[in-house]
Copies of this chain bind each other. A is one copy, B any other.
């Protein structure tokens, strides 16, 4: 159960759905439960939406890259954009922080709470890279597979 998928797509809102189902299809190859997969999909939606809404400010001609890697331990997801970047990552990750007063500022909180590891790198004017892990932990599958 080792697999890798890389994809890139334009920064149009419809592609959030594309990213969700592609990741779900990949995650379905590992021993995740349906509710695990729902949580993983929420985390991916938030990261991809951020790339489109904030990274490219809604302009539809930017590339978003999504990579999914499955190994014995679980699933690693990377979402990357080449947009405006984040000046203060620590502030951006605070619950309820948003640069847009209309938004709830919970995207990073969702990613953090639904995944087992979240790592954000960003350079202003260059773009943002979000890496997240989710361990596969269904009743003994993990340790059995890892032997």
**A interface, CB within 8 angstroms of B:** 3-10, 12, 14-15, 17-18, 21-22, 24-26, 28-29
Which of B4, B10, B12, B21 meets A25, CB within 8 Å? B21
Tell me whether B25 and A17 are in contact (CB under 8 A): yes
CB<8 Å pairs between A and B, sample of 30: A3-B9, A3-B10, A3-B12, A3-B14, A3-B15, A4-B9, A4-B10, A5-B7, A5-B8, A5-B10, A5-B15, A5-B18, A6-B7, A6-B8, A6-B9, A7-B7, A7-B8, A7-B22, A14-B29, A17-B25, A17-B28, A18-B22, A18-B25, A18-B26, A21-B21, A21-B22, A21-B24, A21-B25, A22-B22, A22-B25
- How many whole Å from A87's CB to the nearest CB in chain B? 30
Q: How far is the CA of A3 from the CA of B18 in the complex (A)?
A: 11
Closest Cβ neighbor of A7 among chain B residues: B7
Interfacial chain B residues near A14, Cβ < 8 Å: 3, 29
Q: How far is the CA of A14 from the CA of B1 in the complex (A)?
A: 10
Interfacial chain B residues near A3, Cβ < 8 Å: 9-10, 12, 14-15
Interfacial chain B residues near A18, Cβ < 8 Å: 5, 22, 25-26
- How many whole Å from A41's CB to the nearest CB in chain B? 12
- How many whole Å from A147's CB to the nearest CB in chain B? 20
